[in-house]
Amino acid sequence: MTMYEKAHELAKKYHAGQKRKNGEDYIRHCERVADMMYNEHSKTIAILHDTVEDTDLTLDAIENVFGHYIAVKVMALTHEKDISYLDYILRIKDDNLCAIVKLADLADNLNGATGTLRDKYLMAQWILEN
């Protein structure tokens, strides 16, 4: 089993039962983000990008299975509640791989987003691209 396949199984397990606002299984969002990536490492990070933020999977568990590099990247993509969204995006901007994953995440999130949420995603996209 490849690293990505292990990560996919783990993400499916931890996101099980979670739904998006449109009723779709949450894992589909993670799969679409991973599908936009270009190699096994980026796909692995992408499929796991919301697990620490949205489930009870820990960074220690990710590090134990996938190593320090993957855990650090997933941590960078985790929006901690005590920092502003802008500071979170600016932190990601400094890491090329995380910026690529976040841009894919934003592209998927923008599909169907409206109002202030859409504005927030567009602002983040602009910051990461410029």
* Residue 96: φ, ψ to 5°: -55, -45
pLDDT at 17: 96
pLDDT at 72: 97
**Catalytic residue IDs:** 53-54
* Residue 25: φ, ψ to 5°: -60, 135
pLDDT at 102: 98
pLDDT at 112: 86
pTM attached to this predicted model: 0.96
Taking the C-alpha atoms of residue 50 and residue 122, their distance in angstroms, rounded to an integer, is 19
pLDDT at 21: 86
Comparing CA positions, the residue from 60, 37, 63, 46 lying closest to residue 11 is 46
Contact 109, 118 (CB under 8 A): no
Query: Which pair of structure tokens corresponds to residue 24?
Result: 């779709």
For domain 3-129, the CATH class is: mainly alpha
- pLDDT tens, residue by residue, 11-32: 999 999 999 988 899 999 999 9
How many C-beta atoms lie closer than 10 Å to residue 73's C-beta? 23
- pLDDT tens, residue by residue, 62-119: 999 999 999 999 999 999 999 999 999 999 999 999 999 999 999 999 998 999 999 9
**Statement: residue 9 has pLDDT above 90:** yes
How many C-beta atoms lie closer than 10 Å to residue 101's C-beta? 27
pLDDT at 62: 98
pLDDT at 128: 98
Map out the domains of the chain as residue ranges. Answer: 3-129
